[in-house]
């Protein structure tokens, strides 16, 4: 039987015009797949974390909009685009913090706009319904390109990240930035998987990542399937582990990078970065360039999603583990200051500041 790594995290069923995802809420107990066609189904899957991880969310949203395109009843390209725009805005509202969601939806929608203005508007004699069908195909083809690009980007992130590590290193990671968060390889796990293939013998320490347990349920599950030597720990045990000099590097993914280099990632990341800084352990953020939001100046401007209190009080318990009616603070993400980040591992290489990235026109006062 194939492990989870042998399946596609995000895919498109051409026969049924449906987005197909691994239902990550069922892992590790059950490997289940969802076939989604309606806007509500796709929105729910993103909001309820059935698909999660910035790159995977982006590709899933692109395929989702393509699936919706086949459900739209339109008698002209203009009508099709108007309805498609409404669905794009609706899907974008599912998760406000992950920049890849809006980026992906705008990209596939923009591909349709370009197709319409550059080719279809000049196609004299082509029936209106055929133009609508061409727009549907254009949506799908752009989403497929995004998936292939994501696989290539993650592989390159892995290669650049591996250059920073040594055989036998202890690596600490938080949340799940693995294959389940992307289309293949992952971001923070990409160097780990490539190292595993090449005999580096890493020992990976996995934060369980409360309250949704993405590290325990997903990262530990992935790494075990790949044969990686992995140890699970509660989030508040990281400092103890670092004090014993068992960790040589921290690798995390992210959901959004502000223009100054501040990073929004799963709650608990900033605490981990502070602890790594205290113990003089390099802290690296593994992120595709699409995760950088050049229009958001600093992390203070990033909208942080607040999740339902039930995720803390009862989701993982057979009986309540807190007094009835207690107030709950449950942000999905926190912001890690650029001052705590030793490097951004991207598909173009490793950069200590964002202005080092080719084509970046910004200046930073870092250090």
**Active site members:** 255
HEC-encoded secondary structure of the chain:
CCCHHHCCCEEEECCCCEEEEECCCCCCCCCCEEEECCHHHHHHHHHCCCCCCHHHHHHHHHHHHHHHHHHCCCCCHHHHHHHHHHHHHHHHCCCCCCHHHHHHHHHHHHHHHHHHHHCHHHCCCCCHHHHHHHHHHHHHHHHHHHHHHHHHHHHHHHHHHHCCCCCCCEEEECCCCCHHHCCCCCCCCHHHHHHHHCCCCCEEEEECCCCCCHHHHHHHHHHHHCCCEEEEECHHHHHHHHHCCCCCEEEECCCEEECCCCEEEECCHHHHHHHHHHCCCCEEEECCHHHEECCCCCHHHCCCCECCCHHHHCCCCCCCCCCCCCCCCCECEEEECHHHCCEEEECCEEECCHHHCCCCCCCCCCC
């Amino acid at each position: 039987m194939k492990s989870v790594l042998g399946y596609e995290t995000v895919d498109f069923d051409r026969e049924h015009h449906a987005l197909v995802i691994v239902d990550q809420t069922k892992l590790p107990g059950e490997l289940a797949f969802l076939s989604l066609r309606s806007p509500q189904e796709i929105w729910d899957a993103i909001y309820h974390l059935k698909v999660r991880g910035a790159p995977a969310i982006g590709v899933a949203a692109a395929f989702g909009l393509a699936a919706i395109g086949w459900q739209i009843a339109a008698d002209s390209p203009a009508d099709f685009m108007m309805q498609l725009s409404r669905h794009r805005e609706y899907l974008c509202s599912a998760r406000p913090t992950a920049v890849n969601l809006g980026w992906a939806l705008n990209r596939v929608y923009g591909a349709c706009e370009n197709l319409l203005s550059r080719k279809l508007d000049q196609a004299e004699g082509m029936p209106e319904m055929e133009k609508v069908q061409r727009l549907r195909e254009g949506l799908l083809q752009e989403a497929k390109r995004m998936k292939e690009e994501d696989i290539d980007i993650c592989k390159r992130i892995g290669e650049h990240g591996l250059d920073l590590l040594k055989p036998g290193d202890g690596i600490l990671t938080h949340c799940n930035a693995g294959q389940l968060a992307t289309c293949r390889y992952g971001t923070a796990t990409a160097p780990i998987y490539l190292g595993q293939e090449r005999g580096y013998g890493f020992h990976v320490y996995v934060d369980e990542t409360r309250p949704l347990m993405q590290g325990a349920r997903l990262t530990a599950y992935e790494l075990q399937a790949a044969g990686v030597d992995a140890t699970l720990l509660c989030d508040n045990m990281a400092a103890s582990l670092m004090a014993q000099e068992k960790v040589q590097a921290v690798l995390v993914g992210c959901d959004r990078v502000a223009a100054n280099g501040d990073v929004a990632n799963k709650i608990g990341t900033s605490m981990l970065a502070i602890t790594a800084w205290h113990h003089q352990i390099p802290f690296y953020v593994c992120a595709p360039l699409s995760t950088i939001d050049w229009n958001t100046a600093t992390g203070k401007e990033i909208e942080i999603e607040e999740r339902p209190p039930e995720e803390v009080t009862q989701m993982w318990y057979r009986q309540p583990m807190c007094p009835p009616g207690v107030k709950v603070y449950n942000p999905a993400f926190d912001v890690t200051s650029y001052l705590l980040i030793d490097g951004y591992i991207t598909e173009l290489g490793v950069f200590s500041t964002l202005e080092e990235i080719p084509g970046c026109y910004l200046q930073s006062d870092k250090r």
